[in-house]
Chain A
Amino acid sequence: MLEINSVQAGYDRTTVLHGVTVTVPKDGVATVLGHNGAGKSTLLRAAMGLLKPRSGTVLLNGEDITGLAPNQRVARGMAYVPQGQQSFPHLTTAENLQLVADGRPDGKAAVAEALDLFPVLRELSGRRAGLLSGGQRQQLALARALITRPKLLLLDEPTEGIQPSVVAEIEETILALTRRGGLSVLLVEQHVGFAMRAAQHYYVLEAGRVTSSGEGGTGAEGTVRAALSV
């Protein structure tokens, strides 16, 4: 589905990624684990096109999309939920969703589906996104991403900084989405337990390099924890 091939990327004079190769299988989940500053978010930004790689390529279903703008990647079936529960703070919840649905023939149905998945958003439809709680904003962000009916979803620490009562709910929703089929996920995580439960493949990223990788599943959790604690 997605192939990130020896991507080098960074900001100004600092190089963050030193040739990272990560593959997301079709309808599968791959997770990238690592400590703060390892380059996980940078990897997703490069995959989405917000950051131009200095070298290396990004392939989507075999097509080289390295030079495409992020909105063109969305048109090809990619969606991205960035870190930090981002939203358009002065648009209402409903406007946040409608914005993405605008111009899509199936927009109305897609919004309804997203609201079924996150019913809390229905009650908040008239409220400005900036006034929502972190958990609500993250559900809004996931809903926005799903309205584009993605085939590949990039998630950047989806439960980070969210009140514990909502974390389980969001994790269950993500697991349900991945099991529904027709969706590949690249999940960046710090919570090893959740990541290994969701993923078939894991990659451990350290200082911009993949230091270990392998099959996912809860059985591999110990191996990954050991790799991370080095």
Chain B
Amino acid sequence: MTVILNQSFTGISIGAVLLLIALGLTLTFGQMGVINMAHGEFIMAGAYTTYVLQKDISGAGVSLLIALPLAFLVAGSLGALLEWLLIRRLYTRPLDTLLVTWGVSLMLQQLARDIFGAPNVQTHAPDLLTGNISVGGITLANNRLFILGLALLCVLGVTLILRLTPLGRRIRAVVQNRDLAEVSGIATGRVDRMTFFIGSGLAGVAGVALTLVGPIGPTMGTNYIVDAFLVVVVGGIAQLKGSVITAFALGVLQSVLEYSTTVSVAKVIVLVAIVAFLQWRPQGLYTLRTRSLA
């Protein structure tokens, strides 16, 4: 029993990482329909932001707290810049967007190698996040709990922004009827850039979280980007809750399978399961006739 519970918690924490990474994509890919291959490099940018901060600020806890908003800003600005420089010229050409952003992804990886060197680097987790909590025989790692909390907080934040703020109204309006939004006086180009800023910024926050569970390297983003797209596709690109459910479901499935088989076999089975699922529901878990996130 405890084994099952422990595995489930591991799965949920894997799901939380997936969710955090996919959350930004629900905006840029789910809402705007842009396949941004450089999304993973925004994760990397967030992770290196944490690394740089920790070299300059001694307290690991303090630097982590500063890193969260700063990584959001750094990755978000990179995203907004990418949108302004390239993507906005390519909205009607999705295949070109894919190739162009892939190129940008490779350039950003090389840039990271030039600045920080090719080998992976590491940050120190604050003491508070290095231990474990035991609840009824289940061991919960503090850093995993922190990531879970962070992911849920980000989901809540995105939901509130979309539902209650003027910006959120504009984002939803532009997705639902771009021309009507424009003739209603909304500068749709500016809304696109803000959407991209937030979506990319969330990748930066995911990058900070990843420094707690793994090394930081130039290619760290590419390890996660495919999984993140899978979460959004399986969840149904229309809605946030699809991504939330899918992230946790895939996490738990992966971790339970890993326990009973091996890591590679688990990965294969999960992918086969996804392919089978998409045969049955090509539109994903949740859909609407028109896309709407909140």
Contacts and interface: CB of A to CB of B under 8 A. Distances in A.
Interface of A: 48, 50, 69-71, 74-75, 79-80, 82, 86-91, 95, 98-100, 102-103, 130, 144, 148
Given A89-B290, A90-B292, A70 B182 contact: yes
Contacts of B184: 74, 99-100, 144, 148
B170 interface: yes
Interface in B162-208: 166, 169-170, 172-173, 176-177, 179-189
Contacts of B173: 88, 91, 99
A129 B134 CA distance: 50
A71 B185 contact: yes
B172 A69 contact: no
- The 6 lowest CB-CB distance pairs between A and B, nearest first, are A74-B185, A90-B292, A102-B166, A70-B182, A88-B176, A80-B183
Contacts of B292: 90
Given A50-B182, A71-B185, A100-B185, A90 B169 contact: no
Contacts of B185: 71, 74-75, 100, 148
A82 B176 contact: no
Given A88-B173, A98-B166, 18 more contacts: A50-B183, A70-B182, A71-B187, A74-B183, A75-B185, A79-B183, A88-B181, A89-B177, A89-B290, A90-B172, A90-B288, A90-B292, A91-B176, A100-B184, A102-B169, A130-B290, A144-B184, A148-B185
B169 A82 contact: no
Contacts of B181: 88
Contacts of B187: 69, 71
Contacts of A91: 169, 172-173, 176
B183 A48 contact: yes
Contacts of B176: 88-91
Most buried by B among A50, A75, A99: A99
B195 to A, nearest CB: 15
Contact of A71 (B172, B177, B182, B288): B182
Dominant secondary structure of chain B at its interface with chain A: helix
A82 B182 CA distance: 12
A89 B288 CA distance: 11
Contact of B170 (A48, A74, A99): A99
Interface residues on B, range: 20 to 34
A144 B177 CA distance: 14
19 contacts: A50-B182, A69-B189, A70-B179, A70-B182, A70-B183, A71-B185, A71-B186, A74-B183, A86-B180, A88-B173, A91-B169, A91-B172, A91-B176, A95-B169, A99-B166, A99-B169, A99-B173, A100-B185, A148-B185
Contacts of B183: 48, 50, 70-71, 74, 79-80, 82
Nearest to B167: A102
Contacts of A100: 184-185
A98 B189 CA distance: 20
Contacts of B290: 89-90, 130
B170 A88 contact: no
A90 B182 CA distance: 17
Contacts of B188: 71
A180 to B, nearest CB: 21
Contact of A86 (B177, B288, B289): B177
A48 B183 CA distance: 8
Interface in B243-294: 288-290, 292
Contacts of A102: 166, 169-170
Nearest to B174: A88
A60 to B, nearest CB: 15
A148 B183 CA distance: 11
Contacts of A99: 166, 169-170, 173, 184, 186
A164 to B, nearest CB: 26
B20 to A, nearest CB: 26
A143 to B, nearest CB: 11
Contacts of B288: 90
Most buried by A among B176, B184, B189: B184
B220 to A, nearest CB: 36
A144 B166 CA distance: 15
Given A95-B169, A98-B169, A102-B170, A87 B182 contact: no
